[in-house]
Amino acid sequence: MSDKSEKLQKVLARAGVNSRRQCEALISEGRVRVNGLVAKLGDRVIEADKISVDEYNLPKHALEHTKSRVLIYHKPEGEICSRSDPQNRPTVFDHLPILRKGRWVAIGRLDLNTSGLLLFTTDGELANQLMHPSGEIEREYAVRIFGDVTDQMIKNLKRGVELEDGVAKFKDIQFKGGEGRNSWYHVVICEGRNREVRRLWESQGGVKVSRLIRVRFGDIILPPLLRPGKWIEMEAREVEALKNALYKS
């Protein structure tokens, strides 16, 4: 095998199939083929090989070993996180730089009415590592609440609330000020369930989320001068530091 060969599960993860561990499971289950033959754990592949998972052929660029790129994007309200939309609404992918090969993978999602920090990468394995629940990566949001927030509500939200998809809670809640019945809080969660921040607050009754902005993902902070709809690219050394921190944890 060529010196340029790589472990099959690593290539699958980089292509965004799943985490490296889950890709190992796919191989063990006989769901991966290389050049038409059922693959086994320990197999290595090169760029000329043809790989399929459950009869789906991986595109050629998935085998190419290129440097990982990460974008920090300031998502405005009104954009969806899908690549296309039957209603022709604007998507977060509309403003991203065009890639000659590969594709941008969104790291998590923000709903239509939520703005703030959204990350994109060309590295499928990195995306899976950042999104996997086992990583317990902190997400911090600035939240404007309409209504009267009581001490008991804060205690409930930090202790845990039963939602329709299980118990959820905020790791931290900090009051940031406000006027009248509008108050700003910063909250921290360690998972990315659908509309989790909104559902947690509104589970308490009498209060409503009127503005929601993600300001931090892990150690990455939304740059204060980055305008909505704009992006900046992380430097190569920052991306490598991010990957090293994840894979050592």
Query: Which of the residues 54, 111, 123, 151 is marked catalytic?
Result: 111
Give the end-to-end CA distance of the chain in Å, rounded to a whole number: 31
Q: Give the strand pairing for 115-121 and 208-217.
A: parallel
Cβ distance 108 to 217 under 8 Å? yes
Query: For residues 84 and 94, what is the distance between their CA atoms, to the nearest angstrom?
Result: 10
Place of tokens 């993902």: 217
Annotated active-site residue 151? The verdict is no
Q: What are phi and psi of 121, to 5 degrees?
A: -145, 160
Tokens of 221: 């902070």
Buried b / exposed e over 156-171, threshold 16 CB at 10 Å, is: bbeeebeeeeeebbbe
Catalytic residue annotation:
111
